[in-house]
Amino acid sequence: MAAMRFMTWNVHGTFNLNPKFDLKGVCSIVGKWAPDVVALQEVDSRSRSDDPFAKLASVVGDHGVHAKSIVAEDGDYGQMLLSRFPLSGVPEILDVSYREREPRRAIATGLLTPVGDVRVVATHLGLSIHERYAQAQALVSLVRPGRTVVLGDFNDWFWVKSVRRVLAQVCPNRTRLRTFPARLPVLRLDRIYATPDSRFGRVWTDGEATAYSDHLPVIADIEI
């Protein structure tokens, strides 16, 4: 088995809320840990003269996918999956939106790694229990029986109809770090899941990220 480093971080849309948001700071947090794969949520280019999607595209490597759930005249909003390794095949962008609630997407792709093909699914789920439950069912359909990692902001903190319970059927291994709110984290909203054939090594977060988001990132070394 060989270890790969995965990272997920909700950068909390401060691109839009704070015009002086330090995009270089976000890149420095990601670059410091040198992940092989990183999923970023709430990337927002609205009301900005630059393009955060373009600037973040090369923070890990030369390979990536973006899923813009909101496309507007003044910019876009969504998530990104960035990889040090080439993608295998055409990435899937699944619309997991629930009824009239905020648009949501999931990104699924294979990665051509030194240990072979690895499946990665990145997402950002909704705020209501029933919404997340339906979205979790959709995520299960994207998971292969083995060599799959699912990561993102799951907004999941209740046990009733929980995402954890649904994903445990196919990805029983997961992180358990508190990530929100960043300065005094209580909720485990941001997670990394993996299929049974993978083993988690070191798992950690980074307190310096509080300067850029109200979520902490989750970083994990996973043996695949």
Task: Tell me the domain boundaries of the chain.
Answer: 3-223
Whole-prediction pTM: 0.95
Q: How confident is the model at residue 17 (pLDDT cuts 50, 70, 90)?
A: low
Structure tokens at 105: 């997407």
Across-strand partners of 152? 123, 191
Q: In CATH, which superfamily holds the domain spanning 3-223? A: Endonuclease/exonuclease/phosphatase (3.60.10.10)
Across-strand partners of 75? 72
Q: pLDDT tens digits, residue range 163-198?
A: 999 999 999 999 999 999 999 999 999 999 999 999
| pLDDT of 20 above 90 | no
Exposure pattern of 43-76 as b/e (b: 16+ CB <10 Å)?
bbbbeeeeebbeebbebbbebbbbbbbeeeeebb
Across-strand partners of 116? 113
Q: What pLDDT is recorded for position 72? A: 86
Which among 49, 58, 48 has a CA at the least distance from the CA of 80?
58
Q: pLDDT tens digits, residue range 28-72?
A: 999 999 999 999 999 988 888 888 898 999 999 999 999 999 988
In whole numbers, what is the pLDDT of the chain averaged over residues?
93
**Scanning the structure block, which residue is given the tokens 């790969």?**
4
